[in-house]
Amino acid sequence: MSKLEDIVSLCKRRGFIFQGSEIYGGMAGTWDFGPLGVALKKKIMDAWWKYWVEDRDDMYGVDASIIMNPRTWVASGHVATFADPLVECKNCHGRFRADKIADGITESVTTTEFHNLHIKCPTCGKEDWGDVRKFNMMFATRVGAVLPDDTGEIADKSIAYLRPETAQGIFTNFKNIVDTIYPSLPFGIAQQGKAFRNEISPRDFILRDRECSQMEIEYFVHPSDWETQFNKLLKENHYFLENIMGLPASHLHDYEVPANDRAHYSKRTVDFMFDYPNSTEELMGLAYRTDFDLQNIAKESGKSMEYRDKNTGESFVPHVIEPSIGVERLFLAVLSSAYTEDEIDGSARTVLRLPENLAPYRFCVSPLLKNKPELVAKAREVYQKLRTKYGNVTWDDSGNIGKRYRKQDEIGTPKCIVIDFDTLEDNTVTIRDRDTAKQIRIQISEL
């Protein structure tokens, strides 16, 4: 088994991630987070919010609707260009992304170019392709009580989309925030939430799913100040990923996106690439987007997006730098950095060396024996005390102590505390460290 398969297996066995709608045979590109997974995911998202919003004076949060006025996606360009090249095998009717079927094919591949490559269908082995067509990846839905008319058609004006990114919920609130908070430049608006992409072929576990969570910031700057602020955000993102998320710096690579691969309006984009167990993939992006989005909104809405500087009196449309990260991609990066197989006293074990601030449980509390009421009562007392103080504490009195330790190692609990007969005498407990497996005795009051 590859390391990724080991991680997928651990995720299922210990209740981190399940296949979406598994009981009905699943739903491609969807995943459900179980008790341990939702705890880790929430800690990742809360740590991001604390670092980027709560601990700073220049960031403001929003939580916009998932369903937005469809004009949003006209202005942003998603209706026209958020599309992948789709090709269908006429023999087995399998549908594929033309640019992912073999190496060296670009997203703009034409039907003739594709046919000239003489690629065989990955499913049936035949070479019998239809045209390469553009497939828009937005999920369309109907809003309101819509019924077909006499001809059986449903009016197009009822069509809305599930948002394909959280960023537009930020841009469309730019004016609201300027008019209510009066922030000074530079300042940022942050949002976390679900985004939806109808991927032609979802794959790679949670790396390419149809429903994901994003954490995005639009950082508004004076046009003359963009380079300074870009470099600052670059450093701060590295600090967050390495020091708060615990990702090894050696697995992170800045990729300067070359001019011909960047959006036409962007003067600089850096993709943060991460060495996942099977491949190196984009973890997050940092993009200078100029005033592209605000100008498009001004055009589509007819409202001015100008910002007036309180000190200089200058009026202008701010430029923006966008750090954007997918929660699932970060989740898998954190998990694969933490996943370790080692040996303790000659026996193999699996351990998640999660940073203490991200571990689903910070402590596990156990009585040495579960059939001794006095040990159980004392252990309950310690458990309650720690839970009041730290919140995320778990109780385990199953099996023997060795088995409990293995289980807690696998779910990344940093410390296990055992209450034994000595505890009743002198108020000391055994505390065992996940990473070293070393045990020491300390006073309960020191916990």
Q: Does residue 39 interact with Zn ion by CB under 5 A?
A: no
The span from the CA of 293 to the CA of 189, in Å, is 14
Choice between 91 and 357, CB closer to Zn ion: 91
Asked if residue 124 binds Zn ion (CB under 5 A), the reply is: yes
The one among 19, 30, 69, 91 contacting Zn ion by CB under 5 A = 91
With CB under 5 A as the contact rule, the residue among 7, 86, 121, 270 that binds Zn ion is 121
Smallest distance from Zn ion to CB 122, Å: 8
Longest dimension (CA), the chain: 85
Among 110, 123, 184, 228, binds Zn ion (CB under 5 A): 123
How many other C-beta atoms are found inside a 10 Å radius of the C-beta of residue 26?
13
Cβ atoms of residues 297 and 323 within 8 Å? no
- Residue 66: phi and psi, rounded to 5, are -75, -40
CA–CA dist 193, 164 (Å, integer): 11
| DSSP type of residue 309 | -
Told to check if 325 binds Zn ion by CB under 5 A, we report no
Name the one range near Zn ion by CB under 5 A: 51-59, 92-100, 181-189, 293-301. 92-100
280-290 and 269-275 strand pairing: antiparallel
The answer to whether 221 contacts Zn ion (rule: CB under 5 A) is no
Which part of the chain contacts Zn ion (CB under 5 A), choosing from 71-79, 91-99, 265-273, 338-346?
91-99
Cα dihedral sign, 120-123-125-126: negative
Contact between 45 and Zn ion by CB under 5 A: the answer reads no
- Which range binds Zn ion by CB under 5 A, 34-42, 86-94, 220-228, 233-241? 86-94
The owner of tokens 């033309």 is: 98
Q: How far is the CB of 45 from Zn ion (least distance, A)?
A: 41
- Which one of the spans 70-78, 94-102, 178-186, 315-323 is the region binding Zn ion (CB under 5 A)? 94-102
Q: By CB under 5 A, tell whether 90 contacts Zn ion.
A: no
Residue 119 interacting with Zn ion (CB under 5 A): no
State the minimum distance, in angstroms, from the CB of residue 127 to Zn ion: 9
Question: Alpha helix locations (H) across 210-351?
Answer: 226-239, 292-301, 327-338
- Residue 124 or 143 with smaller CB distance to Zn ion: 124
DSSP letter for 424, please: H
Q: Which of 94, 130, 183, 277 binds Zn ion (CB under 5 A)?
A: 94
CB of 115 to Zn ion, least distance (A): 15
Which one among 38, 45, 47, 92 touches Zn ion, defined by CB under 5 A?
92
Burial of 341 (0-12, 13-18, 19+ CB in 10 A): exposed
DSSP E strand boundaries for 3-56: 17-19, 31-33
Could you say whether residue 101 binds Zn ion (CB under 5 A)?
Answer: no
User: In the sheet where 280-290 sits, what is the strand order?
Assistant: 59-61, 187-196, 211-221, 319-326, 280-290, 269-275, 252-256
Residue (89 or 354) nearer to Zn ion, CB? 89
Least distance (Å) between residue 189 CB and Zn ion: 46
Residue 92 beta carbon to Zn ion: minimum distance, rounded to whole angstroms: 3
Three-state secondary-structure class, residue 429: strand
Nearer to Zn ion, 87 or 368 (CB): 87
DSSP structure string for 47-83: HHHIIIIIT-SSEEE----SB--THHHHHTSHHHH-E
Shortest Å, Cβ 88 to Zn ion: 9
Q: Segment contacting Zn ion (CB under 5 A): 83-91, 202-210, 339-347, 351-359? A: 83-91
Whose Cβ is closer to Zn ion: residue 26's or residue 122's?
122
Contacts to Zn ion by CB under 5 A: 89, 91-92, 94, 121, 123-124
